[in-house]
Structure 1
Amino acid sequence: MTAVTLRVIGIGPGGPRQITLEAVDAIAETDVFLILDKGERTAELTAARRQMLDAHAAPGHAVVAVADPPRDRNPADYEAEVRRWHAARVDAIDAALVEHLPDGGNAAILVWGDPALYDSTLRITDALAARRGDLTVEVIPGVTSVSALTAAHGIVAHGIGEPMFTTTGRRLSDTPAGADLNQFVMLDSSLAFRETAAPDDLVHWGAYVGTEHQILVSGRVGDVTDEIVARRAEARERLGWIMDVYLLQKRR
């Protein structure tokens, strides 16, 4: 049985200078790069990945576009739909490895931010490794959107000795009592803080953090919510996609 190494490489939230030296080395040592292609709406994200490869990959590397299986964004059973979607992704990536590395070798998937934080790639590679006895998975961490956000705003994420809580927009209303001092919120298409935050709470919001499209808004929830809603909608309409994150803090 031929051996295949599959690297999952965190490339940061999008800025070309936010990729780590470890990631640069891993890219230079990889032969085949798998890009999950979501079509025209994320063409700019695919182009950004290709630019990173042009800058850091070895001559002769191959880029393989793997069509991302369709996903129901508003399913009756959210977790069941995600499991079905993940299984379809495992099948697609497995087929690509069989086709492009029939004699073994190494491949990589480039992941926005860090692979451990609200990304499904490692669940998929775990399932793939369980299926294939010839597969070794290597993980290279990346700069997170959370750290890029606080750096862009020039702020500390918490008060002295305070905890931080990371969640999604879907789960923001479920934050346990006492854990809402400093909340990082990701994957929030509805800006759920509008329903959970008090007017005097602080929100530090950023979209496309670290890229040429970066947008930052910070202030009292009661003062800046309308601006965030408007700028988010305008940017998404103009670019066709959006990546945003925010830190919600209780007023001390």
Structure 2
Amino acid sequence: MIELSLVGIGSGNPEHLTLEAIRVLEEADLILLPRKGDEKTELADLRRDIVADLLKTKPKVVEFDYPVRDAKTPKYLDGVNTWHDALAEIWTGLIAEHGSSNAKVALMVWGDPSLYDSTLRIAERVATKGISLNTRVVPGITSLQMLTAAHAIPLNTLGAPVQITTGRQLRDHGWPEGVDTLAVMLDGECSFQHVLDVPARIYWGGYVGMPQQILRSGELSGQCDEIIETRAKARAENGWIMDIYLLRRTA
């Protein structure tokens, strides 16, 4: 039985790792470490630093290149599923090549494996490929937690619901009825510009929890152009960006 641990590491800040996360990584026989292209070498470097600087043991580390998702696939979910299948094949091959029959294998997951992350779905695919697999999750600090902490705001208003959604959903379907607070993730197109007719405040953060963290907040209509410009500039300077924002209707 292979034990696969998906370890949430927050934004890669060593202070974000729980004691459990460090212990599980130290007990691993094999750590799979993804590389996501030359523009995102910093993300791989942060994972390498965690292994080198925080772990008292020296687990075997095997790096692999992330396949690129085909964004031109007509149906979005078809492209995602094909991409997940490719990743599952890579994981399966690496585990078979570098792990023993009862190895403890770990993957460091940005943020937490439960919040708009696909590692759990990929692990399900691996379990269907002839590998006896026991998957566990070690929770990590999410980008949503880091965003609300950075802006020193509560996630919800009193007695009111919160909806966590994606930029694609906001762009295609607008502001959902009956919800005053939206947490928006995976938005590469600044989809908040499609709901400027709604009186709202925005709390935006790029690289939240990291040294280069950028924060903007204020009335959505007044902050829209500023955030778009700031985001584009940061991406050009760093070669990549991870951002998240919260939208809240105003009375």
CA distance in structure 2 between the aligned counterparts of 1:232 and 1:54, rounded to whole angstroms: 31
Residue equivalent to 1:54: 52
CA contact (8 A) 1:129 1:137 kept: no
Aligned partner letter, 1:217: R
Within 1, Cα distance between the matches of 2:230 and 2:222?
14
User: How big is the shift at 1:62?
Assistant: 1.6
Counterpart in the other structure of 2:35: 37
2-structure distance, mates of 1:86, 1:133: 17
Aligned to 1:99: 97
d(CA) in 1 for partners of 2:6, 2:130 = 17
5 Å-filtered alignment, 1:170-249, equals 170-173=168-171, 174=173, 175-179=175-179, 181-198=180-197, 200-249=199-248
Equivalence map 1:23-34=2 (5 Å)? 23-34=21-32
1:146 corresponds to: 144
Return the alpha-carbon distance in structure 2 between the equivalents of residues 205 and 83 of structure 1.
30
Contact preservation (8 Å) 1:166, 1:185: yes
Q: Aligned-pair distance for 1:127? A: 1.4
Contact 1:30–1:58 at 8 Å: present in 2 too?
A: no
Over aligned residues, Cα RMSD in angstroms?
1.4
Would the aligned equivalents of 1:27 and 1:56 in 2 still touch at CA under 8 Å? no
- Segments of structure 1 that go 5 or more residues without pairing to the other structure are none
Identity %, equivalent residues: 39
- The aligned counterpart of 2:4 is 6
Match of 1:159 in 2: 157
TM-score normalised to the size of structure 2? Answer: 0.94
Deviation at 1:103, TM superposition (A): 4.2
User: Take 1:244 and 1:74, find their aligned partners in 2: how far apart are those partners?
Assistant: 23
Check conservation: 1:14, 1:209, Cα contact below 8 A: no
Q: For residues 6 and 58 of structure 1, what CA distance do their matches in structure 2 show?
A: 20
Looking at structure 2, the residues matched to 229 and 111 of structure 1 have their Cα atoms a distance apart, in angstroms, of 27
CA shift, 1:35, in A, is: 1.4
**Deviations, residues 195-236 of structure 1 (Å, cap 9, x unaligned):** 113364100000100110100000001211111111101110
Q: CA deviation at 1:31?
A: 2.1
In structure 1, the residue matched to 2:115 is: 117
Q: Could you tell me the TM-score, scaled by structure 1's length?
A: 0.94
Partner of 2:249: 250
Question: CA 1:197–1:132 in structure 2 vs 1: closer, same or farther (change >3 Å)?
Answer: farther
Task: Tell me the matched-pair count.
Answer: 249
Does the CA-based 8 Å contact 2:92-2:131 persist in structure 1?
no
Equivalent residues of 2:10, 2:16 under 8 A apart = yes
User: Residue in 2 aligned with 1:18?
Assistant: 16
What's the secondary structure of 1:123's corresponding residue?
helix
Q: Give, as a single letter, the amino acid of the residue that structure 2 aligns with 1:176.
A: P
Between 38-47 and 49-58, report the one with greater CA deviation: 49-58
